[in-house]
Chains A and B, each alone.
Chain A
Amino acid sequence: MRSFSLLIFSTLFLAITCFTSCSNDDEVIVPVEEEVITQAVYTLTSQADPTNIVVFTFLDSDGEGGLDGTSSVTGTLNAGTVYDGALTFANTIEGEDITEEINEEKEEHQVFFQSTVDGMTIAYADVDANNAPVGLSSTATTGDAGTGTLTITLRHEPAKDGDGVSSGDITNAGGETDIEVVFDVTVE
């Protein structure tokens, strides 16, 4: 019978520990969303006229899921102009700049620019330690006036040595997409 009392005792003990430790009232803090990017900003500044600034912004204020993100453009893109491009990323929920983090890991990241506007080209203006392009800095050149879209993609762990990847062709890049945003573009 000793074992029986032991069983009853342990049952009660376990039940008590469970029910007491199972109270859900512990104060917990909402976890920090470290890796979320909610905002991407691509700023183009004309090399000839520094007052001609065009800003492309994509913002998804509540992160992935929930509300859809929105894209907006301010400023006018002029035809036949060369622009310096700067790309920045932020986590607006936590108020954190993500650009620095990408910059520190530039060997593992690459931005791809795909434009459907006739004559508009975007070239890399920065490289990582292996002399491969990154894309946080770029040079955009517009051709004739026209409309189209600009897709900016940030890939994590792409095959930077893949066929055509270093010249900005995304086809053989692979990796995971951290950012993929599309903007309507008008060149006037």
Chain B
Amino acid sequence: MLIRSICLFLVLSANLYAQDCNFTISGRIIDNNEGTTLEFANIYINELSQGCVSDSLGYFFLDNLCSDNYHLTISHVGCADVNVYLELTKDTFLTVDLKHNDQVLDDVLIIGKALSDDSQIQHSISETTIQDNALTKLADLTAEIPGVSSLKTGYGVSKPIIQGNYGNRINILNNGVPLAGQKWGTDHAPEIDPLTASSLSVIKGASSLEHIGSNLGGVILIEHDLNTTDPHLHGFAGYSFETNGRGHSLSTMLKKGNEKSKFRFTSSAKKGGDKRAPDYFLNNTGFQEINASLLYKRVLNSRWDSELFASSYNTEIGILRGAHISNTTDLNLAFGREIPFFTEDEFSYGIDAPRQIVNHNLAKLTLNFSDNYKNTLKVSTAVQFNQRKEYDIRRGNRTSKPTMDLDKFSFFSEIKHKRIITKNLILKSGIQNLTAKIENDFSTGILPIIPNHISNEVGLFSILNYQYKKHDFELGFRSDYAYYDVKYITREVPRIFVDTTQNFINVSGLFVWNTQVSKKSVFNLSVGAASRAPAINELYSYGLHQGVSGFEEGDMELLPERSLKTSATFRTESNKFYELEINGYFQKVQNFILLVPQLDIVATIRGIFPLFKYEQKDVNIFGLDFSSRFNLSRHFTSNLSASLIKGYELNADRPLINLPSNNFKLNLEYSKKEAVTVFGLKFDDINFSVEGTYTAKQFLINEELDYLPAPDAYFLLNTDFSLERKLNKVNIRYFGSVTNLLNTEYRDYLNRQRYFAEELGINVTLGLRVNF
């Protein structure tokens, strides 16, 4: 016997009795991943501003509805909202699958799931979280996932570190296209605006063989989802303001579609000025950004459909003036100071040298073929154009002339085939090509740090997925051929160009075993072997590099890195009370390439110079990521997470540099998805959370390889809130946060500018978003 909850209408719409108004919408709310039904889910008809709640078996029932077109929003604590468009002409039964999030850490929604055609575990950040943190950079957003950190150069430039790997080792895919930007250098952030994405996902596991580019250090997927069949224009427009740096952000998303064609368009504009440490301004740390993306899908016939995707990222970033140094004397002077050189009392939006101007444009065309779901074929081609200009303080009125002016044009193509051989055997295979041409503008008056070159990579992969009872196996193989044609300038005078070519063959393999230990527990084991050809900067760079405040020297003799990574994950949950995930990993890398500060003194006319050389070491990296969620009561939840990591060089028996310190996070969250009245205003969804993070001191530091000891441990208190009002046709979301609530003075080991200045002080963010 089903107990159905009959919903009471909160507001009666005017036309309720004017026409044929005897229809019903009923249905069931399920969580397909878990195979459970969901009670207390809210079903809301936007047009009528009315709704109901699902019963203990997940059923709901709405009656006395008129024949009309309706937009329904289905929401549940810990789930991403689902929108349904319905043309009601008869009594309708709906089955709604809500994606249940395994953890909600901080304000970041992390959807942990094993993908149907990818056995590796993936952690995602939702569009709501991305939009609520509109002024946060990509790396700092992904850093909310345990095991992911952010390597920074100051406050406007950050790049993700996944379980100890960053830069050239990480593959970032924007809607399936490997981002062909300037991955090298700690001061080069990924050329992507998170606001264009519908979600961000990270694969931390052993190696992902489906993608060209490095596959030994983890993958970040920038996803652009477009599953609308709603013929009305929907989307949102949002604005946020943050006090630290007086930053503004405007962002919009529009989407519309039908069975034949659909599109999603996003745009954003951001601007901020000088940030502030607890006691002083960080001069010249402003930035501005203008970005847009468009995704258009069209069904050609019953078997073919096509997709067009374009995105544009444009930014200008100021680098802290007081962090600009040229020799070790300057560096030592900067260390000794309470307040950095060039600190002013006035706030400014101005951006002067040192600064960067970066543009990245991408266009992609995809054609999908599907033959009764037995065979699917995907053909994609993409072009990318990346421009990077860096400006330094220079003599002789040259400050307005870039010190580095690099253009990168790249062309990507791939053919992927997926065949469902039997019900439990899937074979995926593909071929990919990535060609890039990098060109310097030689009128900078400075020897280019990266030589002009062409690189060409061709890769083949094959992955077999086999399901047997409660086990899921994946076996993959990948081979890549990389070819470089480099035109470098000799290091000796007289300087001349030398043309040279190099080629590498990389082979990778992967084994994944996924098993359902019990009804509520899953175990995942992945073992991956991968190799990576040294990148051009590791082989050929020669020159002054602002990002490391020193002279960077590549080594043409470097060999490919070879990695073997084992990663094991156990995930379990009890009946609604707790969920937890624990992931342990061990990665052994032969010929691990790292930029090592040199001990021997280099005498130049500028005095003693910080010199960094690319060297190879055999290293071990291992660690543990833990995350958990406790449902304390219907409205209170608590999350606890921790990341522990350790790495060392095998032969020298000394710790590896630039590894994140151990960190811990605890939060307490109150959320209510029902009508609540706050300050006399009615809200339909409220959320409030307080979070404490503790970052330990990096004791594993190679003192002889660093200029200063690692900074002390620090504790930060953050809080955030969101309130949603559902009005007729629109939904208004008010959100905000306070980071570093206690205005703690601290420095972070992974910020290159810790030598010069403190991290940011208190920051209050307030925002408003209208969903329609």
Chain A contacts to B: CB under 8 angstroms = 1, 3-4, 7, 10-11, 14-15, 18-19, 21-22, 24, 28-35, 37-40, 58, 60-66, 68-69, 93, 101-102, 104-105, 108, 153, 156-157, 159, 174-182
26 interchain pairs, CB-CB under 8 A = A1-B304, A3-B298, A4-B300, A10-B381, A21-B409, A28-B442, A28-B452, A31-B445, A31-B447, A33-B445, A33-B447, A35-B445, A58-B605, A60-B605, A62-B493, A63-B604, A65-B551, A65-B553, A68-B602, A93-B495, A108-B395, A175-B330, A177-B606, A180-B329, A180-B608, A182-B607
| CB <8 Å contact, B395 and A105 | yes
Contact A4 B395 (CB under 8 A): no
Among residues of A, the one whose C-beta sits closest to the C-beta of B490 is A30
Which of A3, A65, A93 makes the CB contact (< 8 A) with B491?
Answer: A65
Binds A, one of B16-24, B76-84, B319-327, B420-428: B319-327
Partner of A178, one of B304, B440, B442, B606: B606
Q: In whole Å, how far is B701's beta carbon from the nearest beta carbon of chain A?
A: 27
Within 8 A of A (CB), among B492-530: 492-493, 495-497, 499
On chain B, the residues within 8 Å of A19 by CB distance are 435
* Beyond A29-B442, A65-B611, 4 extra complex contacts between A and B, CB < 8 Å: A7-B381, A35-B394, A60-B604, A178-B395
Contact B435 A174 (CB under 8 A): no
What chain A residues lie within 8 Å of B604 (beta carbons)?
60, 63-65, 68-69
Smallest CB-CB A-B distances: 5 pairs: A180-B607, A34-B445, A174-B341, A31-B442, A18-B411
Contact B409 A18 (CB under 8 A): yes
> B47 within 8 Å of A by Cβ?
no
Q: Are A157 and B393 in contact (CB under 8 A)?
A: yes
Distance (Å) between the CB of B489 and the closest chain A CB? Answer: 6
Say how far A177's CB is from chain B's closest CB, in angstroms: 5
Contact (Cβ within 8 A) A24 B411: no
Residue of B nearest to A21 (CB): B437
Chain A residues near B453: list those with CB within 8 A.
24
Which residue of A is nearest B608, CB measured? A180
Q: Is the CB of A3 within 8 A of B326?
A: no
User: Which positions 527-566 of chain B face chain A at CB distance < 8 Å?
Assistant: 542-544, 551, 553
Chain B hits for A18, CB < 8 A: 409, 411, 435, 437
Contacts of B452 in A (CB 8 A): 24, 28
Query: With A14-B381, A31-B448, A33-B446 known to touch, is A22 a contact of B398 (CB < 8 Å)?
Result: no
Nearest-neighbour CB distance to chain B for A30, whole angstroms, equals 5
Pick the contact of A181 from B333, B398, B444, B605 — CB < 8 Å?
B605
Would you give the shortest CB distance from B609 to chain A, in whole angstroms? 7
- CB contacts (< 8 Å) of B489 on chain A: these are 30-31
Once the chains are docked, how many angstroms separate the CA of A177 from the CA of B609? 11
Contact of B324 among A64, A105, A176 (CB under 8 A): A176
- CB of A93 within 8 A of CB of B395, answer no
A177:B329 contact, CB within 8 angstroms: yes
Tell whether, in the assembled complex, residue A28 and residue B602 are in contact, meaning their CB atoms are under 8 Å apart.
no
- Chain A residues whose C-beta falls within 8 Å of the C-beta of B492 in the assembled complex: 62, 66
Cα of A1 to Cα of B446 in the assembled complex, Å: 51
Chain B contacts of A10 at CB under 8 A? Answer: 365, 381
Nearest chain A CB to B607 CB, angstrom units = 3
Q: Are B606 and A180 in contact (CB under 8 A)?
A: yes
Docked pose: A29 CA to B311 CA in angstroms = 35
CB-nearest residue of chain B relative to A62? B493
Contact in complex: B383, A14 (CB < 8 Å): yes
Question: Bound complex: CA of A57 vs CA of B440, how far in Å?
Answer: 34
> Which chain A residues lie closer than 8 Å to B493 at the CB level?
61-63, 93
- Give complex CA distance A159, B343 in Å: 11
- Of all chain A residues, the one with the shortest Cβ separation from B397 is A105
- Residues of chain B contacted by A104 (CB below 8 angstroms): 396
Q: Are A68 and B603 in contact (CB under 8 A)?
A: yes
| Cβ contacts under 8 Å, A157 to chain B | 393
A3-B367, A65-B543 known; A102+B395 contact, CB < 8 A: yes
Which residue of the partner chain, among A33, A34, A177, contacts B327 with CB atoms under 8 Å? A177
B443 close to chain A: CB less than 8 A:
yes
Q: Is B379 part of the contact surface with A, judged by Cβ < 8 Å? A: yes
Nearest Cβ on chain B to A57's Cβ, whole angstroms: 11
Q: How far is the CB of A96 from chain B (nearest CB, A)?
A: 11
Q: Which residue of B lies closest to A68 (CB)?
A: B603
Residue B175 lies at the interface, judged by CB distance under 8 Å to chain A: no
Is the pair B491, A62 in contact by a Cβ cutoff of 8 Å?
A: yes
Structural contact, B543 and A69, CB atoms closer than 8 A:
no
Instruction: Specify which chain B residues have a CB less than 8 angstroms from the CB of A38 in the assembled complex.
Output: 605
Closest to B611 in A: A65
Interface pair B445/A32, CB less than 8 Å apart = yes
Point out the residues of chain B lying under 8 angstroms from A108, CB to CB.
395
| Cα separation A45 to B763 with both chains bound (whole Å) | 60
Considering the complex, give the chain B residue whose CB is closest to the CB of A173.
B333
Cα distance A118–B712 in the bound complex, in angstroms: 42
B165 CB within 8 Å of chain A? no
Contact status B496-A30, CB under 8 Å: yes
B19-71: which residues lie under 8 A (CB-CB) from chain A? none
Judge whether A4 and B367 touch: CB under 8 Å: yes
Q: How far is the CB of A173 from chain B (nearest CB, A)?
A: 8
Cβ-based interface call for B707 (8 A): no
Q: How far is the CB of B13 from chain A (nearest CB, A)?
A: 43
Chain B 386-399, CB-CB to A under 8 Å as 1, else 0, gives 00000001111110
- Whether A22 contacts B446 by the Cβ 8 Å rule is no
Partner of A35, one of B342, B446, B454, B495: B446
A29 neighbours in B (Cβ, 8 Å): 442
Q: How far is the CA of A159 from the CA of B326 in the complex (A)?
A: 16
Q: Are A15 and B413 in touch, CB under 8 angstroms? A: yes
> How far is B341's CA from A174's CA once the two chains are assembled, in angstroms?
6
Residues of A within 8 A of B590 (CB): none
Q: Is B572 an interface residue when CB atoms closer than 8 A count as contact?
A: no
Report yes or no: A1 in contact with B444, Cβ–Cβ below 8 A: no
- Select which of A32, A64, A181 is within 8 A of B544 by beta carbon: A64
Which single residue of chain B is at the shortest CB-CB distance from A40?
Answer: B605
Residue of A nearest to B396 (CB): A101
Residues of A within 8 A of B603 (CB): 60, 68-69
Nearest residue in A to B334 (C-beta to C-beta)?
A174
Chain B residues near A178 (CB, 8 Å)? 326, 395, 606
Q: Given A4-B367, A60-B605, A174-B333, are A22 and B393 neighbors across the interface (CB < 8 Å)?
A: no
Structural contact, B487 and A24, CB atoms closer than 8 A: yes
The verdict on B186 contacting chain A, using a C-beta distance below 8 Å, is no
Cβ-defined partner of B325 (8 Å) among A21, A37, A176: A176
Contacts of A33 in B (CB 8 A): 445-447
Partner of B485, one of A21, A24, A31: A24
Q: Which residues of B contact A1 (CB under 8 A)?
A: 300, 304
Q: Is the CB of B446 within 8 A of A31?
A: yes
Cα–Cα, bound, A69→B605 (Å) = 7
Distance in angstroms between the alpha carbons of A153 and B330 in the assembled complex:
11
Q: Is the CB of B330 within 8 A of A177?
A: yes
**In the bound complex, CA of A22 to CA of B333 (Å):** 46
Q: Which of B333, B487, B605 contacts A179 (CB 8 A)?
A: B605
Question: Distance (Å) between the CB of A165 and the closest chain B CB?
Answer: 12
- Among residues of B, the one whose C-beta sits closest to the C-beta of A108 is B395
Q: From residue A7, how far is it (CB to closest CB) to chain B in Å?
A: 5
Which of B491, B604, B608 has the most CB atoms of chain A within a 10 A radius of its CB?
B604
Contact status A11-B381, CB under 8 Å = yes
Residue of B nearest to A176 (CB): B326
Chain A residues whose C-beta falls within 8 Å of the C-beta of B379 in the assembled complex: 7, 11
Asked, given contacts A18-B411, A22-B437, A24-B487, whether A177 binds B396 with beta carbons under 8 Å apart, the answer is no
Least Cβ distance of B447 to chain A in Å? 6
Interface residue? B306 (CB, 8 A): yes
Quick one: which of A30, A105, A174, A182 contacts B495, CB cutoff 8 A? A30
| Chain A residue contacts of B442, Cβ below 8 A | 28-31
Could you tell me the distance between the alpha carbons of A78 and B326 in the complex, rounded to whole angstroms? 35
A147 CA / B399 CA spacing, docked (Å):
41
Contact status A31-B395, CB under 8 Å: no
Closest chain-A Cβ to B608's Cβ sits at a distance in Å of: 8
Residue of A nearest to B551 (CB): A65
Among A1, A40, A62, residue most surrounded by chain B Cβ atoms (within 10 Å): A62
In the complex, the answer to whether A180 meets B327 with C-beta atoms within 8 Å is yes
